[in-house]
């Protein structure tokens, strides 16, 4: 007969194991807490160091600001002294010499010479929007810069390009920024901004554009005039500048180029057809309009070269007396006189001829 198996009570051992495990776990938590406290202490120390550095930098910046303000105050004082001295000198001249009736006294203080003795060269005035304003950009062989180089010591080239302007704004502005006294030739180039889609800020309807351009032309009556058509728009390149639809297009601008041609024919004024020349050249050479326009709207070096050559050709054909190849220097060249007496005599003749 089998002997009965003794029943073992494992409860005390189980309780002991649970207590041991709890002790070990509690000890691990204590270790983690200690490590976390150490990390917090290190981070706090680093933050305090950074704050101290920021305080030092703020103090240095404050001292630099004080020094800058002191320097600006000294410069303003120096400039004010120079301006006062110049104004006093100008007022003294004004009391002893006659002043022209058309002289603006507000400009007197910026001059070091008596305006009565200032004789300007004949002028070529270029009026337009950013296509004209950017004409001074020698990095893109700007067309007005090329004109100025071509007419050195023969005529002054005056750039009155107004970036972002349309003809509606320009016809109220142009009379304030040009003087017709010495103008021999005026180049007028508008249309690219007027052609913005309605109801855009720059949009001007074609009929109003034509009337505005006619008014601007009349403002320079007596001078020779060249009307220039706006160039085409390279739609794909120009549209890439916008997240949505572009604000103007090639076909829309074409209407304004047509209007310039029509007005030129009406007024019997030579027209420099930049639109047709650019379109024809692009087609004949199988090149895109992008090759003339750096952003699809404004002229790059190739576009400026094209416009400059068209203008020079138009001048020679329509106003041969202004052909730079046949115009002498208005101020004597250094090889034309032997001494100061001869130069003085030649300058006197130049003064009387102006």
Cα(329)–Cα(251) distance, integer angstroms: 44
For this structure, is 353 an active site residue? no
Q: What is the DSSP string of 31-96?
A: HHHHHHHHHHHHHHHHHHHHHHHHHHHHHHHHHHHHHHHHHHHHHHHHHHHHHHHHHHHHHHHHHH
Q: Which of 64, 70, 77, 130 is catalytic?
A: 130
Cα(80)–Cα(114) distance, integer angstroms: 21
Q: Find tokens 């309605």 and name the residue.
A: 198
Contact 257, 227 (CB under 8 A): no
Cα(153)–Cα(133) distance, integer angstroms: 22
CA dihedral 238, 243, 245, 251 (to 10 degrees): 0
Catalytic annotation, residues: 130
């Amino acid at each position: 007969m089998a002997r009965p198996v003794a029943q073992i009570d494992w409860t005390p051992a189980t309780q002991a194991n649970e207590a041991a495990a709890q002790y070990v776990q509690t000890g691990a938590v204590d270790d983690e807490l200690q490590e976390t406290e150490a990390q917090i202490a290190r981070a706090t120390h680093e933050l305090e160091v950074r704050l101290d550095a920021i305080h030092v930098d703020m103090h240095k910046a404050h001292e630099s600001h004080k020094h800058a303000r002191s320097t600006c105050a000294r410069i303003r004082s120096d400039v004010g002294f120079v301006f006062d001295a110049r104004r006093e000198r100008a007022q003294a001249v004004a009391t002893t010499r006659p002043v022209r009736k058309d002289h603006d006294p507000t400009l007197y203080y910026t001059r070091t010479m008596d305006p009565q003795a200032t004789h300007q060269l004949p002028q070529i005035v270029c009026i337009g929007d950013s296509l004209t304003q950017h004409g001074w950009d020698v990095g893109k062989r700007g067309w007005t810069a090329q004109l100025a180089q071509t007419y050195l010591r023969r005529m002054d080239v005056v750039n009155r390009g107004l970036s972002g302007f349309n003809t509606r704004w320009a016809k109220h502005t142009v009379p304030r920024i040009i003087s017709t006294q010495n103008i021999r030739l005026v180049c007028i180039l508008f249309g690219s901004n007027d052609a913005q889609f309605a109801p855009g800020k720059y949009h001007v309807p074609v009929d109003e554009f034509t009337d505005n351009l006619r008014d601007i032309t009349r403002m320079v009556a007596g001078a020779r005039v060249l009307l220039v058509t706006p160039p085409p728009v390279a739609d794909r390149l120009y549209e890439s500048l916008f997240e949505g639809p572009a604000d103007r297009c090639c076909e829309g601008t074409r209407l304004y180029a047509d209007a310039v041609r029509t007005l030129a024919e009406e007024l019997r004024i030579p027209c420099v057809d930049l639109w047709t020349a650019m379109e024809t050249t692009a087609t004949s050479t199988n090149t895109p309009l992008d090759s003339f326009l750096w952003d699809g709207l404004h002229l790059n070096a190739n576009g400026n070269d094209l416009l400059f050559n068209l203008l020079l050709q138009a001048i020679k054909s329509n106003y041969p007396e202004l052909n730079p190849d046949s115009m002498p220097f208005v101020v004597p060249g250094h090889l034309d006189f032997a001494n100061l007496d001869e130069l003085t005599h030649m300058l006197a003749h130049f003064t009387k001829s102006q």
